[in-house]
Structure 1
Amino acid sequence: MAARAKAVRPLKISARAGETDRDEIFSKNGAAFSVQARAGVTEITLYDEIGRWGVSAKMFRAALESIETDEIVLNINSPGGDVFDGVAIYNDLLAHKASVVVRVTGLAASAASLIAMAGDEIEIAENAFFMIHNAWSIAVGDAREMTARAKLLKTIDGKLADTYASRTGQEIPTIKQQMDDETWLTAEDAVELGFADRLIDNDTEAEAKASFDLAPFKNVPRALKATRRKTRSPKPDAPLVPAAQTDFSSLVAALNALHGTIAA
């Protein structure tokens, strides 16, 4: 199958001041995030959450700035995370001079599925999955705050749908319905619907898709539920404490730690 043309317009989402500010640089051990150049190709492994609890946009951009090869191969196995970090990574991949081949080796869910859309070519392992859904958030405040946050989420969902539709060739209303439904796609489905260009054989990460806690999602395929291994869940900057030991003020403090985060 011929490679699809890379999207030419960056995805723009406006947030309130401070909501996209991520000053942390995370050092990752093992294979969760690695960059390796050889024979004219740079291979990036992204096997973690997106954002402050995993691979941040700042970390990813720093890696991209060091790449001088003409081709990037991006291996993705991620449950997603912070939508603004995902948008930034997507835009930085689009802007890079190298051609980008995305390989979904386990799971490209939520913000990770958006990042995958930056590929000039998108490949998916036969036992891997895609997932798209609407953005999530937590808001603390009065009715005005809740209304403003709902408006922002709708804006984000619209922009994400535009990007998915542009890359896949599907109609925007169809994509929006898939997002409303929290749609999980097998590799074959992903190719058929345009989220990937071709299937690839891959036995090196046969259980990679099962290494994340997928409990927050409502439509996880039975195949993933059966093999999922319990791992750490993202922790807010201010830890949540057991209900029996908390009062309203401490609960508000914990929610405020998550207040600016919008997940996808």
Structure 2
Amino acid sequence: MKKILQLLEANRDRGSFRVKAEEGSDEATIYVYGAIGDYYGIDAQTFVRELAAIEASTIHLRINSPGGDVFAARAMKTALEQHAAKVIAHIDGLAASAASFLMLAADEIEISEGAFVMIHLPWTFAVGSADDLRASAAVLDKVGEAIVGDYVRRTGKGADEVLAWMKAETWFTADEAVAEGFCDRKAGETAAPADPEQEEPPQEPAEPDQEAPPASNLFDLSAYRNAPRALKQRARTHFDALAADRQRAEARLALIERAA
């Protein structure tokens, strides 16, 4: 649990959750742009309540998340699966850990070029006697087995192969995520028609949502051992710039206070 607390605490207030349902439209969009967890991130209870209020026939689930609490993600996933709407997941930046599990609720999953999917063994926090720790490990094994089953059903891969990926903390590029069956297609590719003999007419590309939060991949991923260097470097550069801006602001404030 030390790692998951590190992940959630480090990414507190670095994301957002929002539901957008335009009047007169039969589609709605849910933005899961942050860590998943009732205390530090996107609250499952709020998510389920907002989801229940959606009456659209199609829900776009947009994900950019470093992961979080697997049980919160399980509750969110179950609610999505039980909703009457068709769910299309869009991996806009990152679907790591619990977020890669949440995306499995979708009927279709597409991933953007440059985005990643990451799967790993579940974590927990345990204190107490040796018996307490063994009991916690047994629960973790059961949680891991359940998640392996979900990934197997999605990808069609064998349980041993999926478990090996999880043990290795595997990061899949967009192309790899499609090739291994985690995603159906890359963003911009046309979904296959239900009838192979019936081709869909070409469609105009959708206009970008001007109100959508940016999928910047600027999460603190230091809790993970195999996070791609490019993602870590991008975040470090961003946070260094923020720190420099803060130092400059504090210096100006100090100057104003001395002059006052």
Which residue, 16, 22, 33 being the options, matches 1:32? 16
User: How much has 1:85 moved relative to structure 2?
Assistant: 0.2
The answer to whether structure 1 residue 176 and structure 2 residue 163 are counterparts is: yes
Task: State the percentage of identical aligned residues.
Answer: 42
Greater Rg by CA = 2
Instruction: Let me know the Cα RMSD of the aligned residues.
Output: 2.4
Amino acid at match of 2:178: V
The answer to whether structure 1 residue 120 and structure 2 residue 107 are counterparts is: yes
Residue 234 of structure 2 corresponds to which residue in structure 1?
227
Q: Which runs of 5+ in 2 are unaligned?
A: 1-11, 189-207, 240-260
Which residue, 161, 180, 198 being the options, matches 2:148? 161
User: How much has 1:94 moved relative to structure 2?
Assistant: 0.6
Residue 42 of structure 1 corresponds to which residue in structure 2?
28
Residue 217 of structure 1 corresponds to which residue in structure 2?
224
User: How much has 1:56 moved relative to structure 2?
Assistant: 1.6
Q: Is residue 31–residue 45 contact of structure 1 (8 Å, CA) maintained in 2? A: no
Change (3 A) 1:206 1:61: closer
Report the TM-score, using the length of structure 2 for normalisation: 0.74
Instruction: For residue 106 of structure 2, give the secondary structure of its aligned residue in structure 1.
Output: coil
User: How much has 1:168 moved relative to structure 2?
Assistant: 1.1
Greater share of helix:
2
Change (3 A) 1:29 1:177: closer
Residue 247 of structure 2 corresponds to which residue in structure 1?
none
Which residue, 173, 184, 196 being the options, matches 1:186? 173
Question: Post-superposition, which runs of at least 4 consecutive aligned residues in structure 1 deviate over 4 A?
Answer: 28-31, 201-207
Residue 5 of structure 1 corresponds to which residue in structure 2?
none
**C-alpha distance in structure 2 between counterparts of 1:63 and 1:180, whole Å:** 34
Instruction: For residue 21 of structure 2, give the secondary structure of its aligned residue in structure 1.
Output: strand
Structure-to-structure mapping, 1:98-137, within 5 angstroms: 98-137=85-124
Q: Is residue 165–residue 175 contact of structure 1 (8 Å, CA) maintained in 2? A: yes
**Alignment size in residue pairs:** 204
User: How much has 1:29 moved relative to structure 2?
Assistant: 9.0
User: How much has 1:208 moved relative to structure 2?
Assistant: 3.0
Amino acid at match of 2:222: A
Report the TM-score, using the length of structure 1 for normalisation: 0.73
Q: Is residue 130–residue 190 contact of structure 1 (8 Å, CA) maintained in 2? A: yes
- RCO higher in structure (CA 8 A, sep ≥6): 1
Q: How far does the alpha carbon of each residue in 1:38-80 deviate from its partner, in whole angstroms, 9 at most, with x for none? A: 3210101110110121112101100111000101001000011
Residue 256 of structure 2 corresponds to which residue in structure 1?
none
Residue 259 of structure 1 corresponds to which residue in structure 2?
none
**C-alpha distance in structure 1 between counterparts of 2:142 and 2:216, whole Å:** 30
Change (3 A) 1:222 1:36: same
Structure-to-structure mapping, 1:134-149, within 5 angstroms: 134-149=121-136
